[in-house]
Chains A and B, each alone.
Chain A
Amino acid sequence: MSQVDWNNYACRDFYDELLAAPGKPRASADELCNMLAHFSAEELAERKTAAEIAIRTMGITFTVYSEGAMIDRAWPFDIVPRIIPANEWRKTEAGLKQRVQALNLFIDDLYHDQKVIKDKVLPAEVLAQSANFRPQCVGVNPPHGIWAHICGSDLVRGGDGTLYVLEDNLRIPSGVSYMLENRNVTKRVLPELFASGKILPVDDYVAQLYDMLAAMSPRPGDDPQVVVLTPGIYNSAYFEHAYLAQQMGVELVQGSDLLVDDDDVVYMRTVEGLRRVDVIYRRVDDEFLDPEAFNPHSMLGVPGLMRSWRAGKVALANAPGAGVADDKVVYAFVPDIIRYYLDQEPLLPNVPSYLCMFEDDRKYVLDHLDELVVKPANESGGYGMLIGPRSTKETRDEFARLIKANPRNYMAQPTLALSTTPTLANGLPQPRHVDLRPFILSGPETHVTTGGLTRVALVEGSLVVNSSQGGGSKDTWIVETDENAAGAAEQKGA
Chain B
Amino acid sequence: MLSRVAENLYWMARYIERAEDTARLLSVNSHLMLDLPRHLPLGWAPLIEMTGTLEAFNASHTSFDERSVVHFLCADAQNGSSILSALASARENLRTTRDVVPREIWEEVNQLYLSVADHAENGVSPRRRDAFLKNVIRGCQTLTGLIEGTLSHGPARTFIKLGRQLERADMTTRIVDVRSASLLPQNPEELLPFENLQWMSVLKSLTAYQMYRQQVRLRVRGPDVLRFLLQDPHLPRSIACSLETLGHELQLLPRQDRVAATVSLVRADVVDADIQALAHSPSKLHAFVDELQIGFAAIHDTLSATYFVNADNVPRVTQRQSQSHSGDQDND
**Chain A residues packing against B (C-beta within 8 Å):** 59, 221-223, 225, 232-233, 242, 245-246, 251-254, 256-257, 259, 267-276
Complex contacts, B1 vs chain A, CB 8 Å: 270-272
User: A273–B329 contact, CB under 8 A?
Assistant: no
Chain B residues whose CB sits within 8 angstroms of the CB of A256 once the complex forms: 4
Q: How far is the CB of A424 from chain B (nearest CB, A)?
A: 28
**What is the CA–CA distance of A59 and B98 in the complex, to the nearest angstrom?**
12
* Residue pair B314, A222 in contact (C-beta under 8 Å): no
B2's contact among A225, A233, A242, A269, by CB below 8 Å, is which? A269
Q: Is the pair A269, B316 in contact by a Cβ cutoff of 8 Å?
A: no
Pair B253/A271 contact, Cβ less than 8 Å = yes
Q: Interface on B for A, CB 8 Å cutoff?
A: 1-4, 6, 95-96, 99, 103, 155, 159, 253-255, 307, 311-312, 314-317, 319, 321-323, 325, 327, 329, 331
Task: Return 14 A-B CB contacts under 8 Å, by A number.
Answer: A59-B103, A222-B319, A223-B319, A242-B99, A252-B99, A253-B2, A256-B4, A270-B2, A271-B159, A271-B254, A271-B307, A273-B255, A274-B314, A275-B322
A271 touching B312 by the CB < 8 A rule? no
Residues of chain A with a CB closer than 8 A to B323's CB:
223
| Cβ contact of B3, chosen from A233, A252, A271, cutoff 8 A | A271
Which residues on the B side are within 8 Å of A257 (C-beta)?
A: 2-4
Which residues of chain A are within 8 angstroms of B315 by Cβ–Cβ distance?
A: 273-274
* Best-surrounded residue of B155, B314, B325 (most CB of chain A within 10 A): B314
Whether the pair A269, B319 counts as a contact (CB closer than 8 A) is no
Shortest CB–CB separation between residue B80 and chain A, in angstroms?
A: 19
Bound complex: CA of A373 vs CA of B331, how far in Å? 55
B2 touches A273 (CB 8 A): no
A254 to nearest B CB, angstroms? 7
Smallest CB-CB separation from B253: which chain A residue? Answer: A271
**16 additional contacts, CB 8 Å, given A225-B319, A271-B253?**
A223-B319, A223-B327, A223-B329, A251-B2, A254-B4, A269-B4, A270-B317, A271-B6, A272-B254, A272-B322, A273-B254, A273-B311, A273-B315, A274-B311, A274-B317, A275-B316
Indicate if the CB atoms of A274 and B4 lie closer than 8 Å. no
B312 to A246, Cβ gap below 8 A? no
The one of B96, B255, B329 in contact with A233, judged by C-beta atoms closer than 8 angstroms, is B96
Complexed CA–CA distance, A269 and B314 (Å): 10
The SS class assigned to the A binding surface is mixed
Contacts of A268 in B (CB 8 A): 2
Please pick, from A223, A232, A276, the residue contacting B325 in the complex, using a CB distance under 8 A. A223
User: Contact check: which of B95, B253, B312 meets A259 at CB < 8 Å?
Assistant: B312
Q: Contacts A221-B329, A223-B327, A274-B317 known; A269 to B3 CB distance under 8 Å?
A: yes
- Complex: A268 Cα to B4 Cα, angstroms: 10
Interfacial chain A residues near B255, Cβ < 8 Å: 272-273
**In the assembled complex, which residues on chain A have CB atoms less than 8 Å from the CB atom of B314?**
273-274
What's the least CB distance linking B36 to chain A, in Å? 43
Chain B positions within 8 Å of A276 at CB level: 316
Residues of chain B within 8 A (CB-CB) of A272 are 1, 254-255, 317, 321-322
Q: CA–CA, A221 to B328, complex, Å?
A: 11
Q: How far is the CB of B64 from chain A (nearest CB, A)?
A: 33
Bound Cα distance from A254 to B314, whole angstroms = 20
- Are B316's CB and A271's CB within 8 A? no
**A223 proximity list for chain B (CB < 8 A):** 319, 323, 325, 327, 329
Whether A270 touches B319, Cβ cut-off 8 Å, given contacts A223-B325, A257-B2, is no
CB distance from A305 to the nearest CB of B (A): 16
Whole-angstrom CA separation of A256 from B3 in the bound complex: 10
A174 to B238, CA, bound (A): 51
The docked-state distance in angstroms from the alpha carbon of A245 to that of B2 is: 14
CB distance from B253 to the nearest CB of A (A): 7
Known: A223-B327, A257-B2. A271 touches B155 (CB 8 A): yes
Is A269 a contact partner of B312 (Cβ separation < 8 A)?
yes
Residues in A neighbouring B103, C-beta threshold 8 A: 59
B329 partner residues in chain A, CB cutoff 8 A: 221-223
With a cutoff of 8 Å between Cβ atoms, the chain B residues found around residue A242 in the complex are: 99
Q: Pick the contact of B317: A59, A232, A254, A273 (CB < 8 A).
A: A273
> Once the chains are docked, how many angstroms separate the CA of A254 from the CA of B95?
14
Bound-state CA distance A221–B331 (Å) is 9
| Nearest-Cβ distance from residue B154 to partner chain A, whole angstroms | 11
Distance of B111 from chain A, by nearest CB (Å): 13
Q: Which residues of B contact A254 (CB under 8 A)?
A: 4
Is A246 in contact with B254, judged by CB distance below 8 angstroms?
A: no
Interface centre among A59, A242, A268, A269 (most CB of B within 10 A): A269
Whether A233 pairs with B312 at a CB distance below 8 angstroms is no
